[in-house]
Structure 1
Amino acid sequence: MNKIHKITREIRNLLKEEVPVRNNKNAEWEKRILNSSDPAFLSYGLRVPQLDSVALSITNQYEISYEEALQIFKILINTHIHDEKMVTISFISRFKKNFDEMIIDAYYNALKNYCNTWAFCDSSMIKVLGPYLAKKENSALAKKIIKAWASSEHLWIKRASMVIFLKRAMLHKNFNEDFLFKLAEDLRDDPEEYIQKAIGWMLKTCLKYKPDMVFKYLMENRMYFSRSTLRTACEKISAEMKNKILKL
């Protein structure tokens, strides 16, 4: 057994050791919330601290190169087990100093071929790709990736483009409003609810940093966005502002 497969097997075994005692009600609740598109979906019910602990244990025990970490990532995401997918986020994050465009390619492939929940998509972009693409030296690359991914035919790649944008806005506490509005308009006719809510999430995030500008935009364009998008966008603003936007 080579090193890559040995480490992968140990990660899987450590995850199994962490499995909590759960009743059927909790398991069904989690399955309903995650709403996986995979009919063979299985979750151990592990929490983020448990996933972080497994990742830390492995990286402390083994000397792993960035290239080896990417190989392990690619093996673990090809699974029906939710926790094996999610532990890759904690694991690959430990190599963030080495990130280059290979991490973008790895996630593009993961989202296209192996993502089956919003949780994997969103957590990966918030914790891994978003921070990497928020670096000053990656500004041009970030715009290129967001534009390209927003035009994808794949649900999770499109959603990821907006989560990357909003994470960059959160880290910089600023954003390019023209880029934001163009991104929202390019995706607003998409029938997928996960896209509609992501547009709302993106606008809600940006309302924190340029409230007057984004509010004005929503007021002027509210008739073009779905109710789902508008409701999500308005979650954190005053009742008065919310009523104005939602009043058609």
Structure 2
Amino acid sequence: MTLLSDIIILEIQGFSDPSKVVFHQKFFKTGIGEYGEGDQFLGVKVPELRQITKKYWKDITAFEIKKLLDSPYHEVRLAGIFILVQKYEKSKNEKEKEAWVDFYLDNKSAVNNWDLVDSSAPRILGAWLHDKPKDLLYDLARSGKLWDQRIAMLSTFYFIRNHHFEDALAIAEILIQHSEDLIQKAVGWMIREVANRDLKTGVDFLELHWKKMPRTMLRYAIEKFDEELRQEFLKRK
């Protein structure tokens, strides 16, 4: 019997474009010592992945999703993430949702680049924890593991969209002096999203913490401020 995961992989391979592989390797920092070291690419575009996964997500099993997530190829893992998000969001009840959250956490080692995190963390973990204790996110933020920390920060995007800012800013504070560019950008991005919805809350947070923030984080946080306020913060660094 042919597994749906095998069909999906074959269809993804059918869209492979070798001319894009080198670009993806550079863009996702796959060189020695870089955050995506060793990741492999087929050169497939995101719309093509969505086109494929849209056909199969309803019928695919957890076992087959895991096969996608275990792939050495970035695009195959991303396809698995797209399917997993659909499985979670279309679940019929809380028990099903919880099972998919547990599956996500059990396989988060496959969520090992920024697009994989950003496509999944808010829509699965953030959505699930929105009305529940959030200790897990604080544990991930303090883990010292790059992708776990980005998962923690990006999960709060769901809370922010629902105008709940406390946990997002508390996790931002934990990560405020992070040395990795990807975390600096994620933290700055979430502060910006808070400020977009409540400027005073965002500015108050920045007034307390701007001295400790790397410049990249600050620039991301104030990107949408009016020019006068943006320049006021930039001149401080």
Q: Which runs of 5+ in 1 are unaligned?
A: none
SS of the equivalent of 1:159 reads helix
> CA separation of 1:217/1:57 partners in 2, compared to 1, >3 Å: closer, same or farther?
closer
Taking the aligned partners of 1:82 and 1:88, their CA distance within structure 2 comes to 10
Report what 2:64 is aligned to. 72
Taking the aligned partners of 2:57 and 2:212, their CA distance within structure 1 comes to 49
Report what 1:155 is aligned to. 146
Percent identity reads 23
Between Structure 1 and Structure 2, the one with more helix by share is 1
Taking the aligned partners of 1:126 and 1:185, their CA distance within structure 2 comes to 19
Q: Which runs of 5+ in 2 are unaligned?
A: none
Post-superposition offset of 1:127: 4.1
User: Does the 8 A contact of 1:219 with 1:244 survive in 2?
Assistant: no
Task: Please give the residue correspondences for 1:205-244 in structure 2 after superposition, counting only pairs within 5 Å.
Answer: 205-244=193-232
> CA separation of 1:39/1:158 partners in 2, compared to 1, >3 Å: closer, same or farther?
closer
Post-superposition offset of 1:38: 4.9
User: Does the 8 A contact of 1:149 with 1:160 survive in 2?
Assistant: yes
Structure 1 ranges of 4+ moved more than 3 A:
36-40, 126-134
Instruction: Give the counterpart letter for 1:42 in structure 2.
Output: Q
Report what 1:7 is aligned to. 4
> CA separation of 1:150/1:122 partners in 2, compared to 1, >3 Å: closer, same or farther?
same
Instruction: Give the counterpart letter for 2:206 in structure 1.
Output: L
RMSD: 2.2
Taking the aligned partners of 2:169 and 2:75, their CA distance within structure 1 comes to 35
User: Does the 8 A contact of 2:165 with 2:194 survive in 1?
Assistant: no
Report what 1:115 is aligned to. 111
> CA separation of 1:144/1:101 partners in 2, compared to 1, >3 Å: closer, same or farther?
farther
Q: Deviations over 1:47-94 (max 9, x none)?
A: 23211221122246xx44xxx2x2222221112201101101222233
Taking the aligned partners of 2:215 and 2:36, their CA distance within structure 1 comes to 28
* Aligned match for 2:164, one of 165, 170, 175: 175
The answer as to 2:233 corresponding to 1:245 is yes
Post-superposition offset of 1:119: 1.1
The answer as to 2:118 corresponding to 1:129 is no
Report what 2:14 is aligned to. 17
Report what 1:29 is aligned to. 23
User: Does the 8 A contact of 2:70 with 2:110 survive in 1?
Assistant: yes
Post-superposition offset of 1:39: 4.4
| Residues paired across the two proteins, number | 227
Report what 2:177 is aligned to. 189
Q: Deviations over 1:124-174 (max 9, x none)?
A: 22444334444xxxx114x2332232222321111111101023212x1x1
Q: Which has the higher contact order (CA 8 A, sep 6+)?
A: 1
Report what 1:45 is aligned to. 43
User: Does the 8 A contact of 2:69 with 2:81 survive in 1?
Assistant: no
Taking the aligned partners of 1:47 and 1:127, their CA distance within structure 2 comes to 21
Instruction: Give the counterpart letter for 1:145 in structure 2.
Output: L
Q: Deviations over 1:69-124 (max 9, x none)?
A: x222222111220110110122223322324233233323333x233321111112
Task: Please give the residue correspondences for 1:63-102 in structure 2 after superposition, counting only pairs within 5 Å.
Answer: 63-64=59-60, 68=61, 70-95=62-87, 96-98=89-91, 99-102=96-99
Post-superposition offset of 1:17: 1.6
Q: Normalising by the residue count of structure 2, what TM-score does the alignment of the two structures yield?
A: 0.85
